[in-house]
Amino acid sequence: MSENPIHNFFITFAKIHLQQANMKNEKDLIARSSNSCELCKFTSNLTVYEVPTNNEEGILICAKCTAQLNKKEELDSAHWACLNEAMWSEIPAVQVVSWRLLNRLKDQSWAADALDMMYFDEDTMAWAKSTGDHENDGSVELHKDSNGMVLQDGDTVVLTKSLDVKGSTLNAKLGTVVKNIRLVADNTEQIEGKIEGQTIVILTKYLRKG
Ligand SMILES: [Zn+2]
């Protein structure tokens, strides 16, 4: 039987098919979610969020969910009421992300109650805990300008103070416009920007969003 070339072809085909099923691409996720955010059901601006720390699992989510999940915006607890439903998803990646978000919101009783109802097997729990979100509070560290406006990579800012750049003749006067800034990853009080072709670090308290 195994010498039958057609039979072998089908075995090979089935194996390849199985491997592909594990690596979900965007098309699969759109079909799985009926083209809606797998957390809040919103239907615009959907992108694939690769769920850390499992490289093969992604979920399709909207821009608002992505920004808050990635700590680019403060958590909006009214928005996350959607987790009361998402936590019961049959998709482990959606469950894991819901659990992490609920943990960030757990100082609110509804989120703590929801967490009490969730159950994971050992492997899924290890995956859920692998980012350490469950050990942190819900606070989000954001880069903000001197007026408290949230800054993002690529923003244009204006200096609100003339800067003295040590060891340089750089002209960084008050009112200087700095385009396409980069946020300094581990310090919310600093950004990087180019003035007269030189990249310098600028304190966020000395600038405002342009
Ligand atoms: Zn969403």
What is the CATH number for 174? 2.30.30.40
- pLDDT (tens digit per residue) in 63-90: 999 999 988 888 999 999 999 999 999 9
When pLDDT is cut at 50, 70 and 90, the band that residue 206 belongs to is very high
| Domain match, 114 and 38 both | yes
Count structural domains, the chain: 2
Is 11 within a domain?
A: yes
| Domain match, 122 and 185 both | no
When pLDDT is cut at 50, 70 and 90, the band that residue 19 belongs to is very low
| Domain match, 9 and 75 both | yes
Is a pLDDT exceeding 80 seen at residue 52?
yes
Q: How far is the CA of 12 from the centre of ligand 1 (A)?
A: 38
Q: How far is the CA of 38 from the centre of ligand 1 (A)?
A: 7
pLDDT score of 2: 46
| Domain match, 13 and 107 both | yes
Is 141 within a domain?
A: no
DSSP 140-194: ----B-TTSPBP-TT--EEESS-B--TT----B-TT-EE-S-EE-TT-TTEEEEE
| Domain match, 117 and 170 both | no
Tell me the average pLDDT across 167-186.
89
Is 150 within a domain?
A: no
- pTM of the predicted protein model: 0.69
Q: How far is the CA of 142 from the centre of ligand 1 (A)?
A: 20
| Domain match, 131 and 163 both | no
Q: How far is the CA of 30 from the centre of ligand 1 (A)?
A: 14
pLDDT score of 1: 45
Q: How far is the CA of 67 from the centre of ligand 1 (A)?
A: 10
Distances (CA, A) of 44 to 76, 106, 139: 19, 28, 27
Is 57 within a domain?
A: yes
| Domain match, 191 and 113 both | no
Distances (CA, A) of 66 to 59, 62, 73, 110: 10, 6, 9, 22
Question: Residue 107's domain spans which residues?
Answer: 5-135
| Domain match, 129 and 172 both | no
Q: How far is the CA of 154 from the centre of ligand 1 (A)?
A: 23
105-111, long-range: CB < 8 A, 24+ apart = 105/75, 105/77, 105/80, 105/138, 106/138, 107/137, 107/138, 108/77, 110/81, 110/84, 111/77, 111/80, 111/83
| Domain match, 125 and 169 both | no
| Domain match, 97 and 38 both | yes
Q: How far is the CA of 46 from the centre of ligand 1 (A)?
A: 8
